[in-house]
Amino acid sequence: SAALVRDDAVFGPTSPIRGARWRLEAGRTLGELAHGTLLVDARRYLYLRPVTLAVRGFHFGRYGANADVPQFAPLSLGDGMLVRGYRADTFSPADYTVDPTRPGVCPEQARLFGSRLAATSVELRLPLTGARGLSLVGRGPGLELAPFADAGVAWTGREGPEFSAGQLFERGALGRVPVVSAGVAARLNLRSIIVEAFWARPFQREGSGIFGLNLSPGW
């Protein structure tokens, strides 16, 4: 694999607050399960003292004849910090829609997995406490509030994404439509360990909201 990387981001107590980061990487695996990979990850941080407007675009995918073989675990939009509120283990039978063409398959979960992912996020980061000059209260552990919106789509070499304005916020859609969530996150710096607690409203599943926890600085 080979990558071209640029990173001039300036970090605050819990996440980057200024600058930009991007990575373009391509890889090739040889052998019986030969395939290629492509990663595009671009992030921009616009510092509007004291808040930061953060925007991200992301794509990762496996390509080639072996990209979708069962030996490879599928990629998931709900894992990590791509589209918050869609972790597969938080789904219940109330989220399921019956697909008569695929008995036993939950479309709400199936659309989160694939060999290729694309996602985008936007956050407005407000530092409440932390370093002097970078927060509203210049003392105490770093604490940041961040209203956010996430969106993403997963697909495979056999099933492409479906972009339909009528299905964008529709529950019960059966295809590989994009998933969207919005909510607010709170990040706390505990002796260099960043804990993020968030509430997300996922628009393609039942329920009023999902609480979650990540051990990671802001992207």
For the ranges 54-68, 113-127, 159-173, the lowest mean pLDDT is seen at 159-173
- Res 85: pLDDT: 92
Q: What percent of the chain has pLDDT over 70?
A: 92
For the ranges 5-19, 46-60, 88-102, the lowest mean pLDDT is seen at 88-102
DSSP, collapsed to helix, strand or coil, labels residue 215 as coil
Higher pLDDT: 165 or 185? It is 185
**Contact status, residue 22 vs residue 43, Cβ threshold 8 Å:** yes
Residue 208 has pLDDT above 80, yes or no: no
**Contact status, residue 47 vs residue 40, Cβ threshold 8 Å:** no
**Contact status, residue 128 vs residue 143, Cβ threshold 8 Å:** yes
CA 20 to chain centre: 18
Question: Whole-angstrom Cα distance, residue 87 to residue 31?
Answer: 33
